[in-house]
Homo-oligomer: A and B are copies of this chain.
């Protein structure tokens, strides 16, 4: 595919990697010093001029070194993703597993810990969404009398998660009434996937005969609400290790990341773009998706809960982040998470 030959390719990578390492415009002699291509600075200069022509790198000002453009980063990341053998530090692999093992029973905590872990290893923003609710099954429903005219509805899902909500009742029901409702709901919706539950609830609500029984109608409404709010609910983030952020030269980088935290809604929009079929994906330059996120990139992957439900994990950091190190980390974290969740089934 490439318009670049093997050698030019290698030099482009050398420039980008150097820039990521040093965060300083890279000149021709810098390249010859750090890498041994067996070429003189003059030759590198010619090649750099060509790369600039093609839009992979650019000069901040005349007679300064070169800095990667967004296009350059994209190309660099693509070649990284093509190498299957992304090597990883054994210690990190071990640490990763150690952090996530043992809390598989508490999905909320597991998600929390995963996001912290991603953040810890990257020093950037770690994000994790829970397995997509549509794919999960509803195992059991309970409605428990709470006060004279209040009841607590509890939804238990196939993966062990529990959702609950207090509901107001227009009159006092006995626990026996509630048990009847519980029974009805379990027969109607027990053991089927949430997406189907949604359909059935909608259908039931449209049937007149049911509407007559106001408690059942109410329960259906609550079910609907609980299921739909599910999605928004559990997105977690962390900025652990931010204190040892690699000399964050640009305060605005930090500001941008902090801004990202503020609006979960936008984050979800971003993550909705992730294609679950592939492995690790990288989005360079998020401003195409969210204008305020200039100079930020995202490395994401997906995991499964051992059944069908898929969730997303990732890192958001400056465009100039260390992809070579972070891509394997995201990849490995997703795989570890899948493994931990599968074993708990």
Which residues of A line the B interface, CB within 8 A? 105-106, 139-140, 142, 144, 146, 152, 154, 156, 160, 162, 164-166, 239-243, 248, 251, 254-256, 258-259, 261-262
Q: What's the minimum C-beta distance from A150 to chain B, rounded to whole angstroms? A: 8
List the 3 closest pairs (A to B, CB-CB), nearest first.
A242-B258, A243-B259, A162-B164
Q: Which of B162, B240, B241, B261 contacts A154 (CB 8 A)?
A: B162
Q: What's the minimum C-beta distance from A215 to chain B, rounded to whole angstroms? A: 18
Note all chain B residues with C-beta closer than 8 A to A156.
144, 146, 152
Smallest Cβ-Cβ distance to A259: which chain B residue? B243
Note all chain B residues with C-beta closer than 8 A to A262.
240-243
Q: Which of B152, B240, B251, B261 contacts A239 (CB 8 A)?
A: B261
Note all chain B residues with C-beta closer than 8 A to A241.
262
Mostly helix, strand, loop or mixed at chain A's interface?
A: mixed
| Contact assessment for B160 and A105 in the assembled complex, using a CB-CB cutoff below 8 Å | no
Q: How far is the CA of A140 from the CA of B243 in the complex (A)?
A: 44
A–B complex contacts, Cβ < 8 Å, 28 sampled: A105-B165, A105-B166, A106-B165, A139-B146, A140-B144, A140-B146, A142-B144, A142-B154, A144-B156, A146-B160, A152-B156, A152-B160, A154-B154, A162-B162, A162-B164, A239-B239, A239-B261, A240-B261, A240-B262, A241-B262, A242-B255, A242-B258, A243-B256, A243-B258, A243-B259, A248-B251, A251-B251, A254-B254
Q: How far is the CA of A65 from the CA of B308 in the complex (A)?
A: 66
| Contact assessment for A160 and B154 in the assembled complex, using a CB-CB cutoff below 8 Å | no
Smallest Cβ-Cβ distance to A160: which chain B residue? B166
Q: What's the minimum C-beta distance from A65 to chain B, rounded to whole angstroms? A: 26
Known: A105-B166, A152-B160. 4 other contacts (CB 8 A): A142-B154, A239-B239, A239-B258, A243-B256
Q: What's the minimum C-beta distance from A169 to chain B, rounded to whole angstroms? A: 14
Q: How far is the CA of A156 from the CA of B144 in the complex (A)?
A: 10
Q: How far is the CA of A258 from the CA of B255 in the complex (A)?
A: 12
Q: What's the minimum C-beta distance from A231 to chain B, rounded to whole angstroms? A: 15
Smallest Cβ-Cβ distance to A152: which chain B residue? B156
Q: What's the minimum C-beta distance from A312 to chain B, rounded to whole angstroms? A: 21
Smallest Cβ-Cβ distance to A150: which chain B residue? B160
Smallest Cβ-Cβ distance to A258: which chain B residue? B242
